[in-house]
Structure 1
Amino acid sequence: MTFLTGEDPVSKFLFLILLFLGFGLTINVTMALMTYLMEPSSVYLVKGMIAGNAQMVIQQNPSISGAVPIERSDNKDGIEFTWSVWVNLTDIGKSSQYQHIFHKGEQNIDTDTGLNFPNNAPGLYISPNTNELVVIMNTFNVINEEIKIPNFPMNKWVHVVIRVMNNNALDIYINGALAKRHILSSVPKQNYGNVYVASNGGFTGNLSNLRYFKYAIQPGELLALTDAGPNLTIHSKSVALASVPPYLSMQWYTDNV
């Protein structure tokens, strides 16, 4: 009763301490909640269309003008994140090197293979002299785990989704259909490096809407992205583009891959 009425000086002091602690805790919780709610759950690294040889570097340091930092996985159900991109491959080329679409991590392209090493979290490439799509992911057990998708459609827009969920399940979707599930040897080794697009000469064709989600997108959202199609608005930093083919490639649904 004395504490409530405030007749005792010690009680008054303790009450004020508790009041300030409660106020401070409320402020911290409110700020954390506001940060979480205002944090973008997805970002465009490339919004619009660029030529496959239009090299771009998307800075991750927020202090640099024009940077587009991506948030690490929200880890609600283990490590999970998604990358989405539209690719129009028009030629497999004649080089012995891999054609580079994009990768995340410090740039160190091997001049013999065309692959970035060691950072690919992830990396997306076209194999030499063939229309084989290659996804590379760094893990803590294996530097570069490769997942290959043969018979990648050409001369059409193709929607590619790389999704990681439950720590080590990597799914690759082509035009909304699951092309392959790969169980990684361990959790992905994410990095704070920049995102590089069309490095080392890039690839022959066009790219549209490279996007990152800090969570594993679900079937409904995935199909909505596919149905929306590529963004054919030319990106301001792109070089002149060749004629743009129609989408969507139906070849993926009929080929035996």
Structure 2
Amino acid sequence: MTFTGNGCAGRVVVITGGGTGIGAAVAERYAAEGAHVVVVGRRREPLEHVASSVGGRVIVADAADTAAARDAVAQVLARFGRLDVLVANAGGHGFAPVGETDDAAWDQALRANLTTAFVMARECLPALVESKGQIVIVSSLAGLFAGPSVAGYTVGKHALIGLTRTLARDYGKAGVRVNAVCPGWVQTPMADEEMDEFAEQAGLASREDGYAAVTADVPLGRPAAPAEIASIVRFLGSGESSYVTGAVLVADGGAHIVDVPTLAFDHAGM
């Protein structure tokens, strides 16, 4: 059975890191269009909260563990008989410079940000080849540029773009499309924690002031809502993007187009 058409009704969508933030928003978006949503992650409580709100299913599993990922895919196929979209969204860890990153922290960062996507993609590929499905990999603006003191995270997110391109090249002839999304600041629980810490260190009054500060030089002047990123993921993981593969779609409010050396002119009112 091969899916045809551009809509999402009836499609089977697996979302890693589906319990919070962007993953939860992606689950909500697909479910609203009638897709069968399966959220995968290591923490049962947030997964169940998302699944109960969207009518989806929960699989508690470490996406970086081969046996767990293989079992998750087997559960999906046993329940639905097919798999149409993998959204590789799991990530986190790696928030230190190289000189302060020990071997354990390095391994943890790459496992969370890269291995999760690699292992799940590998285990989903046979089913995706059969359905001529899609993989959407959620990278980050950190996959294109380097922020301060985020070595493991930055390297992992950069590597996701390489993974996207090699998957797209190798499996395009089999009908599988693979694309990446690189969000900038998004108001997720993880970003909220960062903003709380940043606001305290910078002497700002609130989390909102923190977001305002980090987006002050972004053309759109604000962070994204998770639903805005979910809309992009849904586009790439649907028939509406039927001739797009190997692409890296940046969703950062325009941050990447800013010429940093000219910011001084703006700040001087010129």
Could you say which structure has the greater relative contact order, defined with CA pairs below 8 angstroms and 6 or more residues apart?
1
Kindly indicate which of the two structures has a greater share of residues assigned to strand. Answer: 1
| TM-score band w.r.t. shorter chain | under 0.3
Q: Which protein has the larger Cα radius of gyration, Structure 1 or Structure 2?
A: 1
Kindly indicate which of the two structures has a greater share of residues assigned to helix. Answer: 2
